[in-house]
Amino acid sequence: MAETSPASTALPDGGTVRPITRWGEQVMHRVQEPVTEYDEELHALAADMVATMYAADGVGLAACQIGVDRSIFVFDCPDDEGVRHQGVVCNPVLFLPEGRDRRLDDDDEGCLSLPGAFVKCARPDFARVEGQDLDRNPVSYEGQGLLARCLQHETDHCQGTVFGDRLNKRSRKKLFKQAEENAESYPGHWPAEA
């Protein structure tokens, strides 16, 4: 098991696994409402998101992926050195390298809201995200490799973008074909118990 980064924040536990919302649902394709109330309801939402992410074997999950219109995501993801980073980010703002510092990583990407499908998606190989934690404290996470991809992917969800929006028609067609071929493995209530 990979070690956890000291910059990581402990994730809330005790949540309930919820069904994952799929691409095509309206909540997945609009800018999410900002988090303004940092209360018990927000903590409970984050705990449910964490439980759902783990049940689905994911490395990140945004609130819209369980049907909640809030700009928040949770993650537990390794970086390119195998160090695990975890945290909760409300109202994420993404910072990406520009100019000569910008290098693209064209690696496979998938989404729990279109389960069982993966295609290459070019993204910058480094990302930093800033926002607030569950108690309104400022947080900042950054990294390379899968962690950079995760931070970009989950921030996209908060902006109403699914990674399929970033693909050309051919890659998108391949992605949807894979999802269709694997649909029986992911019933509508997945990963919650039927």
**DSSP states along 113-171:** TEEEEEEEEEEESEEEEEEE-TTS-EEEEEEETHHHHHHHHHHHHHTT--GGGGS-HHH
The model carries a pTM of 0.94
Whole-number Å distance between alpha carbons of 40 and 45: 9
**What residues are labeled active site?**
154
Query: What is the pLDDT, as a whole number, of residue 155?
Result: 98
Whole-number Å distance between alpha carbons of 49 and 157: 14
- pLDDT (tens digit, 9 = 90+) per residue, 54-110? 999 999 999 999 999 999 999 999 998 999 999 999 999 999 999 888 999 999 999
- pLDDT (tens digit, 9 = 90+) per residue, 129-180? 999 999 999 999 999 999 999 999 999 999 999 999 999 999 999 999 999 9
- pLDDT (tens digit, 9 = 90+) per residue, 14-37? 999 999 999 999 999 999 999 999
Q: Domain 26-94+128-165 carries which CATH code? A: 3.90.45.10
